[in-house]
Amino acid sequence: MIKPKLMLKFFAKNVAKTGNPLGIENARINRWWKEEQIKRRGEWLFFTGMLYQLTPYIEPLLKYIERLENSKFQEVLRMANFSRSLSAFLLSSITPRKSLEETNKILSNIYFILNSSIDVFYIPEIDTYSGILMYEFGDHDNFAMHARSVIEKLEEHGVRRIVTVDPHTTYALKNVYPKFLEVNFEVKSYIELLDPKKLSRSEEYVIHDPCYYGRYLQLSEVVREKLKKAGINYEEIRNSGKLTNCCGGPIEALAPKISKSIAEIRVNELGRSKIITMCPICLANLRRVKSNALDLSEVLFDGS
Amino acid sequence: MKIYEALENKSIRDGILRTVRNLSYQVDKNLQKHPYLVEYAEEVRNAKKEIIANFDFWIEKAMGILQSKGVEVFYANDANEAIKVVKEIVGSKKIVVKAKSMVSEEIDLRKYLERMGNEVWETDLGELIIQLKKEKPMHSVLPALHYSEAQVAEILKKIGINGRNAEELAEGVRDFMRKKFMSANVGISGCNAFSVDSGRIFLIENEGNIRLATSLPRKYIALVGIEKILQNDRLALKSVLLQSAFFGTFPPTYININEKIEQQEMFVIFLDNGRKSTEFKEQLLCIRCGRCQLECPIFQNFGNIWGGSAYGGPMGIIWTAITEKKSELCFLSTLCGKCREICPMKIDIPEMIRELRRSIIMRK
């Protein structure tokens, strides 16, 4: 395991400087909307929290960390210019183009399907990471400081309703922010708001409920309702919904090997059907062990 | 063993996964067939809350009733005090038979008794295997779940037991232990629940060894973590039934209800060891069924290696913080929340793990 304090320091510094834990400027990774016709005003603010955009950079980071994971050389993480060069390294060419394209497609898919059921809009400049990782590390000070800056930007734009795309951001904005600060907005996951079209698909799927949706936010039933409405067949396993099992993702940066072993256990349990996920961290982590995991949006909207 | 060694040691992971598949199914079945268990859990939770809120009152009452029955009663503030008391009672050059007890692991009792020149035997088969391997239990209920039958056969050769299969090995251990039971001077057990009303010690088991270890020797010592105290027999019985139902084996093969009998000297040691003063009070509601351990994605990889010197897994991370130290291993939790979901006492372990992390990162 990487020393937790070292990792936390790396993340917290990056968040303070660039707004996200990997230290890459949001403007450089948040590109899904560039080619699309988006509205800048409306009822529901589309808020990605940057997790999907960061995911393609996580795999190269983990390959790097795996080498430090159980070694005394991890002290290098302490050095300031090391952090800077790591962020630069992550931005460089090794990030697979395919996963960047997939990320953009997932986000624009979600945006446009929402657009057909609600009045949704997007302001790229105020879309930022939620800070949830610092909360999970128990670093309340840095979390609250970051949350305040997120809320201020939302307030400046008079945002009252927010639609989120991943479970971590949803939980942070909906359940954790109000514990620390006054919030005047309502938060819903896109899954609650979408109105899927009937599709004709013959494949059998299995659902991997993310822990935050399955237990903390209790949205698993909504997921199933929407899948049924879209005519998608899925099998239920014991460990789903409230009893879902973790993909290992949350500890990927501290202990990538352990995280991978957890993903292996989970993928074995899910069986051979195509896996539906709805969290970028689950998606990436389940794919690290060669599974056929897909994002919910790819199942619901692909080809539509 | 360190965590990365454990990660490489696939027998831990395989053993746990095999066990959890079987036991989760059993737990689901138990709850379906006996829906009243859910009400019991609620009742025991509330009763324990009351005890924890008024520890001093209930401990005094518990000690009083035991004294009135002729039991010698001690209160140990920490592990050292408890060990000192046991050493005085046992002395040296004795044969001691032990029931499996996590609280005795917590104070590392076997080691101290052996150092005094006593012959100490763990009488639970799994715990005996662990004793012979000089390891720590991999799970509170199933200490040796990571060993295959062939490995167990190899380990038992150390004490001259040979067998071609599980039945023969078990028979060999039974013969071996029977001699120890008959010649033992002292029996030691933990306590799954203690009834203040009657001064009775409730213990569940599946092998029958606890019954023999606590009834045959002339001296009997029970170690009672103060959180095991319950108001009366009814609640104590419900608590041990819950423990077995949520572990997976229900009803338990044996329920022992031990109290002072004429032919036996009985000693009860109440152990605090961080419990009364802990900031993690909610963990004291734990009935140690071990369900959170088996269902935990981290525990599934490491067993009790993910934890302190005695306790491991989700509950064990917090128990270690109470009785031993705040360990950085808490950062390995994924906070997935499965432990909270399946806990019969509905203990919010993930929130306590976050609090634990918070106090670790605040340390300079």
CATH code for the domain in which residue A290 is found: 3.40.50
Interchain CB distance below 8 Å, B354 and A138 = yes
pLDDT of residue A47: 98
As given in the structure block, the two tokens for residue B47 are 């009763």
Instruction: State the Cα–Cα distance between residues B348 and B328, nearest whole angstrom.
Output: 19
Q: Which residue in chain A has the smallest CA separation from B298?
A: A262
More confident residue, B217 or A200: B217
From the candidate CATH numbers 1.10.260.40, 3.30.1330.10, 3.40.50.10420, 2.40.50.180, the one assigned to the domain spanning B36-271: 3.40.50.10420
pLDDT category of residue A302 using cuts at 50, 70 and 90: low
Q: Is the pLDDT of residue B105 over 80?
A: yes
pLDDT category of residue A238 using cuts at 50, 70 and 90: very high
Interchain CB distance below 8 Å, A258 and B332 = yes
**Are A281 and A55 a contacting pair, CB within 8 Å?**
yes
Cβ-based contacts of B360 with chain A (< 8 Å): 4, 138
As given in the structure block, the two tokens for residue A67 are 């080498």
pLDDT of residue B140: 87
| Structure letter (DSSP) for residue A179 | H
Instruction: Calculate ∠ Cα A59-A208-B314, nearest 5°.
Output: 80
- Write out pLDDT tens, residues B255-286: 999 999 999 999 999 999 999 999 999 999 99
Residues A179 and A249 in one domain: no
- Name the minimum distance, in Å, from the CA of A216 to any CA of chain B: 8
Q: Which of A2, A261, A281 to probe the B interface (max B CBs under 10 A)?
A: A261
**Are B155 and B132 a contacting pair, CB within 8 Å?**
yes
- Write out pLDDT tens, residues A93-124: 466 778 889 999 999 999 999 999 999 999 99
Residues A151 and A41 in one domain: yes
Q: Which domain covers residue A270, as residue numbers?
A: 197-301
More confident residue, A302 or B15: B15
Residues A173 and A261 in one domain: no
**Are B316 and B304 a contacting pair, CB within 8 Å?**
yes
Average pLDDT over residues B65-70: 98
B8-13: long-range pairs with CB below 8 Å, 24+ = B9/B146, B11/B146, B11/B147, B11/B148, B12/B138, B12/B146, B12/B301, B12/B302, B12/B303, B12/B305, B13/A261, B13/A265, B13/B300, B13/B301
Closest CA to A178 of A215, A135, A125, A221: A135
pLDDT of residue A59: 83
Domain boundary (A168, A192, A216) is at A192
Cβ-based contacts of B13 with chain A (< 8 Å): 261, 265
Q: Is A70 on the interface with B (CB under 8 A)?
A: yes
Show the DSSP H helices in chain B as ranges.
3-8, 10-33, 36-53, 55-68, 79-90, 102-106, 109-115, 125-133, 149-156, 166-183, 209-215, 233-247, 291-294, 299-302, 313-323, 338-342, 349-362
> Percentage of chain A surpassing pLDDT 70?
96
Average pLDDT over residues A174-190: 97
Residues A182 and A212 in one domain: no
More confident residue, B230 or B1: B230
As given in the structure block, the two tokens for residue B322 are 């109470």
User: How far, rounded to the nearest angstrom, does the alpha carbon of residue B13 sit from its chain's CA centroid?
Assistant: 21
Average pLDDT over residues A157-183: 97
pLDDT category of residue A304 using cuts at 50, 70 and 90: very low
Interchain CB distance below 8 Å, A138 and B355 = yes
Instruction: State the Cα–Cα distance between residues A286 and A266, nearest whole angstrom.
Output: 8
Does ipTM come in above 0.85? yes
Residues A56 and A115 in one domain: yes
Residues A82 and A152 in one domain: yes
Interchain CB distance below 8 Å, A246 and B334 = yes
The residue length of chain A stands at: 304
Q: In 3-state terms, what secondary structure has residue A199?
A: coil
Residues A59 and A170 in one domain: yes
Closest CA to A142 of A2, A19, A23, A3: A19
Q: Which of B333, B338, B351 to probe the A interface (max A CBs under 10 A)?
A: B338
> Percentage of chain A surpassing pLDDT 90?
76
